[in-house]
Amino acid sequence: MDYIEVTCHFPASQETTDRMISVLASVGFEGFVEEAGHLQAYIPTSVFEPGMLDLLNFTVDPPEDLEITIKRIAEQNWNQLWESSYASVLIGDRCLVRAPFHTTLEGIAYDIVIEPRMSFGTAHHSTTQLMVEALLKMDVKGKTVLDMGCGTGLLAILAAKMGARPVTAIDNDEWAFSNTKENIIKNNVASCNVYLSDASAIGNDRYDVILANINRNTLVNDMSLYVNGLRKDGILLVSGFYSSDIDSINRSAQKNGLEMSEIQFKGEWASVRYFKKE
């Protein structure tokens, strides 16, 4: 499959980069490479429409400071591309997220290998880091965990390595579904089950913990499905949204019987932990 590479040049700012990633991910871009002053984003050629990029004018002030270049890139170039630009990420001094071509570190509690394809969730984005940091503070040993919108399967794999049993990962993107299965094998976590679907797949299943790093609209729309899928006193951990979106997330959560227990911030992004009341 061929991809379109969009390179955005702009005044260096992590906040601007985060806004761009959020906008591009919402319209179908699947992979990102961040560097100071520019961002490379990737989307399947069959999905790309030039009009998608008009949304980026709202991420840079003034818009004239934004320069965009577009080129087509073949799938066989991905390994070379990622190996030259993809860096490992250490989170909370306990969890190392790395590609197969990186070496591990001594004394790491959780060493996770993610094949750097085009799935969102390689731990470079603030929301993924927030989710990992929050998960590392939880005791999930022996608990049932769902990673909803799993991307690369990173959170599902970490939960399994932390002792969760069983772990379910769901994503409605076929590429993410395939990448998650690949990463589960690479990390030797047999307790993970992966499904190509959306939140409706929760059905009558019940979980102790649901992890959802998606976006505000999806979280609000699917909140009732998440809550229905939680056991009593179950935990819902969410991210993928700006701190300014917390009020709308809270209204939906409270309407469905959840109570907030913790908020974390990283730049403009936030994560919130809820528990299901009786």
Contact 155, 147 (CB under 8 A): yes
Question: Which of 166, 156, 194, 189 lies closest to 178 in space, CA to CA?
Answer: 194
Percent of the chain with pLDDT over 70: 91
Which of 169, 165, 139, 140 has its CA nearest to residue 153?
Answer: 169
The HSE-up count of residue 59 (CA atoms within 13 Å, CB side) is 27
Percent of the chain that is helix, strand, coil (3-state, to 5)? 35, 30, 35
CATH number of the domain at 87-276, please?
A: 3.40.50.150
pLDDT at position 75, please? Answer: 65
Largest interatomic CA distance in the chain = 54
Q: pTM value?
A: 0.78
Structure token digits, residue 231: 């056991």
Residue 206 has pLDDT above 80, yes or no: yes
Q: What confidence tens digit (pLDDT) does each residue in 54-85 have? A: 989 888 888 888 899 999 887 655 556 656 66
One-letter amino acid for residue 223 of the chain: M
Do the bridges between strand 192-196 and strand 230-242 make them parallel or antiparallel, or are there none, so unpaired?
Answer: unpaired
Q: Classify domain 3-83 at the CATH class level.
A: alpha beta
Distance CA 164, CA 253 (A): 24
Q: Which two tokens stand for residue 74?
A: 């073949």
pLDDT of residue 153: 94
Q: Band of the pLDDT at 223, cuts 50, 70, 90?
A: very high
How far apart (Å, rounded) are the C-alpha atoms in residues 193 and 195?
Answer: 7
Pick from 9-13, 69-73, 116-120 the range whose average pLDDT is largest.
69-73
Q: E strands of the chain, at which residues? A: 3-9, 31-35, 38-44, 67-73, 89-91, 95-98, 110-113, 145-148, 167-171, 192-196, 207-213, 230-242, 258-266, 269-276
The domain limits of the chain are 3-83, 87-276
